[in-house]
Structure 1
Amino acid sequence: MKCMAAIANQLADAGHQVTYFQPFVVELFQNHDLIKNPNIKVIDFWHDEEGRKNLPSDGVLSDAWTSVKYQSDIGVKIFAPRVLHSAFQHMCRRMFEDKELHKMLKDQKFDVVLSETFDFCGLYLADYLEMPAIISVFTGSKLSAITDALGEPSFLHYYPSPSSNFGPKISLYDRMNNLWYKLLSTSAFGELFDRQYADISKIMNGTVRHWKPILGDVTYHFANSNPYLDFVVPTIPKVVPIGGYTMDYKQVPPVSKELDTILNLRPYNVFISYGTMVASKYMPDDYKHSMINLFKHNQNVTFLWKYEDAEEKYIKENIPENVHLSKWFPQQSLLADKRVNLFITHGGLGSTMELAYAAKTGIVTPLFAEQPSNAQMLARHGSVEVYSKHDIPNWKKQSDLLRKMLIDEK
């Protein structure tokens, strides 16, 4: 949502007439303020009663703190199509059943439609409505399932599997693992798109096209990849890397007066955010206990922790005074502030981009999906250390790494 909103804002700022159509697959995010340009026409689209009965819980990925299935090639193949299809299914059904929506969108006479590939429903709809030009967007970096359909060469052996070594450390096992990962990842997301196609084809009596020819016919494909940071892969002219388009540190506002005061309390400041998809409040108890020990044994550091429930009994009773909790922090403003010395992050692509553009050091603790690859991407530049989520209960190990990162000038 953040990435597509950034594209909408930039197009509107450049003088284009922009309509931002937002189907709320997860209604948790309905009260956002991501659309900045007042000239953008916003169309909200909501679940029907059946869809609301099947809304995914905000804790649907809570086991990502400990489970290996989200970073396993086989786990991706088994769980991704099932979990994501069930999350997308009802909104996609509603979008294709609503004939008034179709007429309204056709009447807008759009010149071009930009839609995300991760949930392919928007691209299915744009193609069905015969929009003049379609640009597919992947708000991640690489998605192997769409490579062949776009006409790109394979990035096998250029882009490592999340569990593979790369560079001088690469072995024959790693090369085999890269192949295994590509085959399973391609199959997993291909199955997801096929499931969506089957649902829509049934609703529309077979009048929709398959996702592969749709991708083959797109005018351009925008990839959220920055070639200066990312692993270099072979590509084609219609695949345009736009990584960094959400970054504009010239316009980042300073921190609030309250945060300004907090950042002056101690010699070191560490910002912690594990993102939105896997909430910190769902950490197992031993993880929370370890985090509190980490805080207590580093009293010369102020920790700003994005934590969703500051009133939770265990947290409220045990959190030390050098920790400040909030459901939300102005991430870019904090990373742009010179007093913030270190960022502990889950390694989502948005956070890794913001970390790199702010020229800050970080500890990346990947939880699921492409986050291990994002962590490796930054680690090879020497700006971050990768820390396993399974080592969070070892507070001494994390504390030693924290002190090394704060003190070591390299």
Structure 2
Amino acid sequence: MNGHVIQLVLIAFIIKSVVSLKLLIVFPAGARSHYNLGNALGKGLANLGHEVTLVAPFSEPNPPKNFKEIVFEDVLKKYIDADKSLNLFDASHVSPFLYLFILNYFSSLMMEGFFKANETQDLLRSNETYDVVIVEQFLSDSLHALAEHFNAKLVVFSTVGSNTWTNNLVANPSPLSYVPDIFLGFSSDMTLLQRAYNLLFSIVAQLNLHFIAYPKQADLVRKYIPNAPDFTKIHYNVSLILLNSHESISQPVPYVPNMISIGGYHVNPPKQLPKDLQEFMDESKEGVIYFSMGSNLKPSQLPNRTKEIILKVLGSRKERVLWKWDEDQLKDQPRNVKISKWFPQQGILAHPNCKLFISHGGFLSTIETVTMGVPILALPVFGDQRLNAARAVALGFGNSLSFVTLSEEEFSSKLEELISNPKYRENVKLRSELIRDRPMKPIELADYWIRYVVKYNGAPHLRVAGINLPFYQYWLLDVIAVYLGGFILMMYLLKTLYRYMSKSNKQGKLSKKKKQ
């Protein structure tokens, strides 16, 4: 019997040795929400037997086995210092066109800081080897060079599903007639004006990427990894894209074969709430409204007028309220409102007494509230939040308000509608079933495809032919130029012929007059 046990242990060890991979996961953004996704991905893959190294500005207090961290202390300090003075609510007034160029600046700053960091330089000079490099695709195309540097397969991770940044890498089609850009708060059912705006914005976004953003990223690669091949070669050498999305929340859109949706992988079975919160939730017979603006926005920085409206309306509700507040005290705090700098969000949303989630419309929060089956009232501010809010409205599991034009009557009526009308709860329950009804856990799906691209040497058979076409050919600019040139030439010839015939007619008439 003991011999059989030893044999099984040896077999398990051999299998693990064969299938375990060395993974380098890089999430350089100084935003806690981005880190949470990278950390959940790293921990999930480590728990499935891989040897994981996570590079990020934050750290995990309880890392699993096979999980190593490289933490950027200087980057984190700069992020904290900037966070003290930055009011992200001001971003709500920024034009999407201007936002593109602000992101260019932010991208260069972030990537320059990443490559300059001592931790990065030590990593680049190390003799470490990796099977796969997973990088977050967020203004960070120069990170693709890490896969080439470590002779590893490149896997890209998108925090917000498919978008312009990811589609370009694998030639994924994105029809502008029903796929709005992530920075525009449109649903898939766009009006004529919205489609025209979407087309114009997408053209500007593509021009910005190809003629401003990508060249800057190429400069960074040449500066910090001088032996790297041509940027175009490493930039598009993507074996797999993991998308933090799912059709239960995001609209169904085209995906090429090497794009895989794993949205919801970061959501865990809810744990027991702390005693005080458990009692608060249990004793709230009229239900609880949970209010959180995420990890980056500070509710204390809301305009005073907006704060007063929110406090007055929430204070008049029969439900009790949990408000994630970034300060120790809340002036004029209503009796039915409990504040805290942190709440176990997934556990609160999972409680049967949670009636509504008031949120900024962040994608992680949207995934969590849909998974737990709680309607949402979104107050979007910037980035993809308007798009997420528009989808919640279109799919019938939430509503949206602009905090800039927020009025007491509108806020009050939207709250009442979402809580009293059962259709919102029914719609979100359906979406909850859809996101849970999958053949395997999303982290296991990610694990399968990561192993797959290693097994098949990058899985080139999954890549569509469009990735080999230069920019102008993919967008048929050469064909358009030929047609346009032909049209101009035809018009020129017709004009020349018309002039020639007009001149001939005039000469004929003159000769007839002379004969007469």
Report the TM-score when normalising by structure 2. Answer: 0.69
**Residues 59 and 159 of structure 1, relative CA distance in 2, 3 Å threshold:** farther
Match of 2:124 in 1: 102
Match of 1:247 in 2: 267
Q: What SS class does the counterpart of residue 142 from structure 1 fall into?
A: coil
Matched ranges for 1:195-210 at <5 A: 195-205=216-226, 207=228, 209-210=230-231
Match of 2:471 in 1: none
Q: What SS class does the counterpart of residue 296 from structure 2 fall into?
A: coil
Asked if the contact 2:392/2:398 (under 8 Å) is kept, the reply is yes
Q: What SS class does the counterpart of residue 383 from structure 2 fall into?
A: coil
Distance 2:290 2:120 in 1: 45
Q: What SS class does the counterpart of residue 303 from structure 1 fall into?
A: strand
Match of 2:301 among 275, 282, 286: 282
Asked if the contact 2:357/2:375 (under 8 Å) is kept, the reply is yes
The answer to whether residue 349 in structure 2 is matched with residue 306 in structure 1 is: no
Distance 2:312 2:285 in 1: 18
Asked if the contact 2:249/2:391 (under 8 Å) is kept, the reply is yes
The answer to whether residue 306 in structure 2 is matched with residue 291 in structure 1 is: no
Match of 1:320 among 334, 350, 362: 334
Match of 1:27 in 2: none
2:278 maps to a residue whose letter is D
Q: Larger Rg: 1 or 2? A: 2
1:96, CA displacement in angstroms? 9.0
Asked if the contact 1:59/1:278 (under 8 Å) is kept, the reply is no
Deviations 1:233-259 (A, max 9, x none): 2221111111121123xx220221101
1:13 maps to a residue whose letter is N
Matched ranges for 1:189-228 at <5 A: 191-205=212-226, 207=228, 209-210=230-231, 212-228=232-248
1:193, CA displacement in angstroms? 4.4
Asked if the contact 2:133/2:147 (under 8 Å) is kept, the reply is no
Distance 1:128 1:166 in 2: 38
Match of 1:269 among 279, 288, 306: 288
**Residues 153 and 109 of structure 1, relative CA distance in 2, 3 Å threshold:** same
Match of 2:69 among 42, 65, 71: 42
1:173 maps to a residue whose letter is L
If each structure's helix is expressed as a fraction of its own residues, which one has the higher value? 2
Match of 1:344 among 358, 363, 366: 358
Match of 1:57 in 2: 82
1:167, CA displacement in angstroms? 5.2
1:222, CA displacement in angstroms? 0.9
2:271 maps to a residue whose letter is P
Deviations 1:260-306 (A, max 9, x none): 122214512100111122211221222222221122222x1211111
The answer to whether residue 44 in structure 2 is matched with residue 10 in structure 1 is: yes
Asked if the contact 2:290/2:358 (under 8 Å) is kept, the reply is yes
**Residues 365 and 152 of structure 1, relative CA distance in 2, 3 Å threshold:** same
Distance 2:79 2:371 in 1: 39
The answer to whether residue 179 in structure 2 is matched with residue 159 in structure 1 is: yes
Q: What SS class does the counterpart of residue 227 from structure 1 fall into?
A: coil
Match of 2:205 in 1: 185
The answer to whether residue 135 in structure 2 is matched with residue 92 in structure 1 is: no
Distance 2:77 2:52 in 1: 29
Asked if the contact 2:92/2:382 (under 8 Å) is kept, the reply is no
Distance 1:20 1:226 in 2: 25
List gaps (5 residues or longer) in structure 2.
Answer: 1-34, 424-516
Asked if the contact 2:132/2:152 (under 8 Å) is kept, the reply is yes
Q: What SS class does the counterpart of residue 172 from structure 2 fall into?
A: coil
**Residues 32 and 54 of structure 1, relative CA distance in 2, 3 Å threshold:** closer
Identity level (%): 23
Q: What SS class does the counterpart of residue 262 from structure 1 fall into?
A: helix
Asked if the contact 1:345/1:365 (under 8 Å) is kept, the reply is yes
Match of 1:406 in 2: 419
List gaps (5 residues or longer) in structure 1.
Answer: 25-29
Asked if the contact 2:157/2:243 (under 8 Å) is kept, the reply is yes
Distance 1:64 1:10 in 2: 33
Q: What SS class does the counterpart of residue 275 from structure 1 fall into?
A: coil
Match of 1:78 in 2: 101
| Greater alpha carbon shift after TM alignment, 122-131 vs 7-16 | 122-131
RMSD: 2.6
1:342, CA displacement in angstroms? 0.3
Q: What SS class does the counterpart of residue 213 from structure 1 fall into?
A: helix
1:280 maps to a residue whose letter is P
How many residues get paired?
A: 386
1:17, CA displacement in angstroms? 1.9
Report the TM-score when normalising by structure 1. Answer: 0.85
Match of 1:135 in 2: 155
1:206, CA displacement in angstroms? 7.0
2:253 maps to a residue whose letter is V
Distance 1:287 1:376 in 2: 21
Match of 1:376 in 2: 390
The answer to whether residue 132 in structure 2 is matched with residue 112 in structure 1 is: yes
Distance 2:78 2:418 in 1: 47
Q: What SS class does the counterpart of residue 134 from structure 1 fall into?
A: strand
1:133, CA displacement in angstroms? 0.9
Asked if the contact 1:134/1:218 (under 8 Å) is kept, the reply is yes
